Structure 1
């Protein structure tokens, strides 16, 4: 998984920024390289030594800005999976179309998560504006030149909590992960198979996106009719469960009981205080529900609120890190957990929240003469997980991006699935 170069299911995610106005490509490239020097894992590759994988930092391994304008005019952009054994785990792509520009970031999940990349983007954009104004220094040095091997600090993976407060609730999360290992959820069902086109022939990433109107006032009115501890994310998880259950029932036309599982990334930075560096510092919480419980629907939202609240209050997300650390010492342990032959999650829901949390702005973000008009987030998918949903709010719009398995879902089916999900979410947000 760390050096995953498979074409169909690489551990890559994407951020897309759409601007109105011109971007200086030369300054954008230079600011990208200089900003990446402050984030060690973005200038490193994975090497194997003494039987273990490790990050080795190299000055020549820096992210690049690729000009995709010619390809973008001819059709949809096509990317290649990143192999972090040979190149940096972050690459940028710029495509100019008239007065509009698309800036894509492709990131390998082993070197950074989406939250870490957005923190990096902030430093990148700040550096870009300084270079445009001539206020930036021109002699940045490569930091920590003598320290080429990056050794992760294991102490940063757990909050500073009394042992009794951490160990006692951990047993409950171990039971959840045991259920994860034993029971396999049903995947999203497709009414039809796609063509037999090879992965190299199809555009990648395969994605669809939608926008939902959202305001803080409207959310306050909706929240008044929800359980007191309900969050926006709880509402989205509940709607996703119910939509996929109805979708599968419509495809199969059977009412047999089965289980669905939503993988929900949890940011660990708030508990550890490590907020600025681009690295993979998230864990995963797996939420399981049976189709029968979803169809009943009475206590679905309340149960989700209770479960996610427990994870937050007792730091349950750190247990997965303990499991992964333990498996690292077992030959073949990680390979067995991430084997591509089984469906580990029905789908993924990753909510990054408002963009202003990472890139402060008032109404619209300005970058020199360019104005950011749209932004999308496409989470990574794994074998068996046919679709992953990414949420990123910009202004009064909630952006919903869905990266899907192009070998099993056709573009038409993917559009239909996302339309159903967004329709449910809009109805729930309206208090319906």
Structure 2
């Protein structure tokens, strides 16, 4: 949803950094994008209180100036590869409607970054409540970046509607820092030195050989609703399970008791759930590989002032179905592979490998072919979503207050790639852990993906001694 109008009013210092070359991850998101499997994701925020439309729209336009990649287009005609260009006469607009009105776009979920900015927005409100839905193209930003934008938007709104002395103080967003958004690659190389780079290169080659040699199986379609009979996914269709505060506390205690991180437990139980699902839908094939793609943050505290952008890569964890057993050694294996140093090395190797393949004629179409399954499923854990807001808000009963609004609930889910039939998102807000899942346009039915979600939630509850 965009409209053509006057200049966006970007400062000369912001305009000076464009055209801006795409990073390796941004190019990957762009190449993996297709009308049937768009690389887009949504963020939904439910608020109590009535949004002042005039003030909110003014804040929306103001905050966009601090996050220029959300109102930029991709120019593919540049000799050295695609670049971001400011869409000064093309701005995202907000679609307003009453509670219950459909959230949709005439173009479907896909966003063509050659003609449309990578942000869409809807507000549905009435009876003292509102829901804000934001859709982002993943080439523009990651989940953390989307939360940074929303945090700045709510902070700007609060600054104009809060009583004196209760206005939040957002951390600044420095658009010039976008020039450094791929810096972690260079910084790591400088720290390693020559010997370290050689060791990392060998580790990367070993990881790549394993990655290519272990062809993961897709999630099996649910037998009760075969893929060719499953209804296509609805616009931004997302299913969710929310744990109670007491259950969330017990889960955190379970991680501490087992000397593991929360992410370790989430990954272990996800592998066990996928194995159980595949065994129920297609028994007798325990030698299949299961691969979980786990996005993680590469950005550091030095990037605190960076606007909405991408600062992530993937950690791919792979196991035979027969290896996925509820045993302490399996959890220890998750911990080893989820170790920050291992995760960072693998994430860099993935981006470096993609960059190398871009230089080899024909390598990218082969690597990203329509029939290649990169991962059985995606599991993206944001953790406490409030840490991304970039603002210190007043809090009431664990929920942030933005002027006359209270953020009651918030959730999102990652995009689904071809041949990866489900993508799960995890986060916490207000002391409650939530899990979301999105399904592919075909493969799993809505009922099937809900059963898969509840199967995962039940395992997290029962496997970690979390009574209902």
TM-score (norm 2): 0.81
Task: Choose 107-116 or 291-300, whichever is displaced more.
Answer: 291-300
Is residue 2:211 matched to residue 1:180? yes
Select which of 135, 140, 158 maps to 1:106.
135
Instruction: Tell me which residue corresponds to 1:260.
Output: 290
Q: What does 1:122-141 align with in structure 2 at a 5 Å threshold?
A: 122-132=151-161
Q: What residue in structure 2 maps to residue 380 of structure 1? A: 415
Mark the CA change 1:124 to 1:47 in structure 2 (over 3 Å): closer, same or farther: same
Residues 148-175 of structure 1 deviation map (CA, whole Å, 9 limit, x = unaligned):
xx86765443434232345424422332
Pairs within 5 Å for 1:217-236: 218-219=250-251, 221-226=253-258, 228=259, 230-236=260-266
Deviation at 1:29, TM superposition (A): 1.9
Among 38, 52, 55, the residue aligned to 2:81: 52
| Structure-2 residue corresponding to 1:121 | 150
Q: Is the 8 A contact 2:70 2:119 kept in 1?
A: yes
Where in structure 2 are the equivalents of 1:15-30 lying within 5 Å?
A: 15-30=43-58
Structure 1 distance, partners of 2:36, 2:267, is: 26
Pick aligned residue for 2:226 from 193, 196, 199: 193
Q: Deviations over 1:8-41 (max 9, x none)?
A: 2100011110112211222222211211111221
Q: Whole-Å Cα distance in 2 between the matches of residues 156 and 223 of structure 1? A: 30
Q: Does 1:322 align with 2:349?
A: no
1:73 matched to which residue of 2? 100
Report how far residue 408 of structure 1 moved: 1.8
Partner of 1:331: 361
| Alpha-carbon distance in 1 for matches of 2:131, 2:101 | 15
Moved more, 19-28 or 285-294: 19-28
Deviations 1:352-404 (CA, angstroms, capped at 9, x unpaired): 11122123443211222221111111111100111011011001211111011
Per-residue deviation, 1:296: 6.5
Contact 1:186 1:258 in 2 (8 A): yes
Structure 2 unpaired stretches of 5+: 1-28, 168-173
Asked if residue 162 in structure 1 is aligned to residue 192 in structure 2, the reply is yes
Whether 2:461 is the aligned partner of 1:426: answer: yes
Aligned to 1:209: 240
**2:442 aligned partner:** 407
Q: Per-residue deviation at 1:316?
A: 3.4
Return 126-135 or 233-242, whichever deviates more.
126-135
Rounded Cα–Cα distance in structure 1 between residues aligned with 2:328 and 2:460: 17
Instruction: Count matched residues.
Output: 416
Q: Distance in 1 between matches of 2:62 and 2:31?
A: 25
Q: Per-residue displacement from partner, 1:111-135 (whole Å, max 9, x unpaired)?
A: 1001112112222211122233599
State the match for 1:6 in structure 2: 34
User: Is the Cα–Cα contact under 8 Å of residues 32 and 63 in structure 1 kept in the other structure?
Assistant: no
Change (3 A) 1:220 1:284: closer
> Partner residue of 2:113?
84
Structure 1 portions without partners, runs of 5+: 137-142
Structure 1 residue 195: Cα displacement: 5.9
Deviation digits for residues 84-128 of structure 1, max 9, x if unmatched?
111111111111243321111101000100111211222221112
Q: Which residue of 1 aligns with 2:330?
A: 300
Cα distance 1:310–1:157, how it changes in 2: closer, same or farther (>3 A)? closer
2:307 to 258, 274, 277: 277
Write the mapping of 1:140-155 to structure 2, written as runs, cut at 5 A.
154-155=182-183
Contact preservation (8 Å) 2:373, 2:420 = yes
8 Å CA contact 1:207, 1:401 repeated in 2 = yes
Contact 2:231 2:445 in 1 (8 A): no
Are the aligned partners of 1:91 and 1:107 in contact in 2 as well (CA < 8 Å)? yes
Native 8 Å contact 1:156 1:272 kept in 2:
no
In 1, Cα distance between equivalents of 2:367 and 2:301: 26
How far has the Cα of 1:237 moved from its partner? 0.4
SS in 1 for 2:160: helix
Q: 1:428 to 1:2 in 2, by over 3 A?
A: same
CA gap of 1:196–1:314, structure 2 versus 1, over 3 A, is: closer
| CA-based RMSD | 2.9
Residue 59 of structure 1 and its aligned partner are, at CA, apart by: 1.8
Quote how far apart the aligned CAs of 1:51 are: 6.0
Deviations 1:48-88 (A, max 9, x none): 1226211111222333211243xx63556565321111111
Q: Which deviates more, 152-161 or 316-325? A: 152-161
